[in-house]
Amino acid sequence: MENQIYWILVGTRPEVIKQVPLYFELVRRFGKEKVALVGTGQHKELLEQALSHFGVHLDFNLNIMKPNQTLSSSSAAVLEGLDELFLKSKPEWLIVQGDTTSAAMAAWAAFQSGVKVAHNEAGLRSYDLDHPFPEEGNRRLIAIVAKAHFAPTEMARQALLNEGVPAQNIFLTGNTGIDALKWTLEQHAPESISQLLKVVKDAGQKPVLLTAHRRENKAAMDAWFETLAKFIVSNPELSLIYPIHPNHTAKPAAEKHLSHLKQVHMIPAIHYGETCHLLSECEFVITDSGGIQEEASTLGLPVVICRKTTERMEAVNEGVARLAGTDPDSIRKSMQWAKNLGRPEKRGIQRNIFGDGFAAQRIADQL
């Protein structure tokens, strides 16, 4: 790994999705010998699944994932693993993405070793350290040590300016996740999704996507899913598709309230390509996830955000998303709003809230 200028770090599936477009662009411009894709293994199976979707391989993998790991143990493993790697070879830049434990600890390790940190998707803020946890703390930590901040939106850029980040270090680029979404939708839809959608449409129903996994929502999920079940039953023209996240935070509530309903398809976790193509056919989305808010909004789909806060207020301000929280009545009203708003072709609306598909090129220009 000698003489490499850019190390692009990934630890989870969302990081792969948003880093690979930049990896492709840097390799195209500077050659493979100048760029390395470094994995932490924070989410081993999902990481490998996402890499496979794009047809890329890690140059180095810390393999930190262990049984019963905690945030502290995984943090220590990233710090120690990168510290050992930096003793053998150092890039000029370490590029981290978003707000994961991998990103925050890798940025800190690079800072301590004298490696410049670039932050892809900088400036997202909920201004609540408990929501989302630990992501809000992670991204603020990265902002302290980063030399280059690639802000996806003007709101993100303003947040960084308000925190005292020098304007000359902030670059408005758009979100590389939209680059990945557009690339993926140009590929053929996976057969698994085509078959699932055929089942839904043959039943005369319209698909609605649910994603739920946030640890801070665990206590509220029983009431949330009970409300969701009542809504689906009262709207027989809808079919709810729920891929179960591997962390199983929502699985008990889902099995209790949703598993017996004919309108509900509870399926194993699906890969990124399947998610994008499924999303593109849905009426609306109900989620406590992050990146899917960007993807759904870009496709013009109404988004019901079941979280106390969101760091993606741009979609709410544009009127294509609602911050429902976890209160059952608020969630019910927000789902009704989403159903009434419907798919974008009914409204003739195109959205470009989070990017135009050329973010990786802009970031590469600055690097």
Give me the active site residues, please. 99, 121, 135, 213, 215, 245
Distance CA 100, CA 314 (A): 21
Beta-bridged to residue 9, according to DSSP, are 38
Residues contacting residue 12 through CB under 8 Å, at least 6 positions apart: 42, 43, 46, 47, 100, 102
> CA angle, 351 as apex, 216 and 55 as ends, to 5°?
70
Beta strands in 49-135 (DSSP E): 60-61, 93-97, 116-120
**Strand, helix or coil for residue 331:** helix
- CA distances to 148, 198, 297 from 364, rounded to whole Å, are 12, 41, 25
Side-chain half-sphere exposure of 100, counting CA atoms within 13 A: 23
DSSP state, residue 34: G
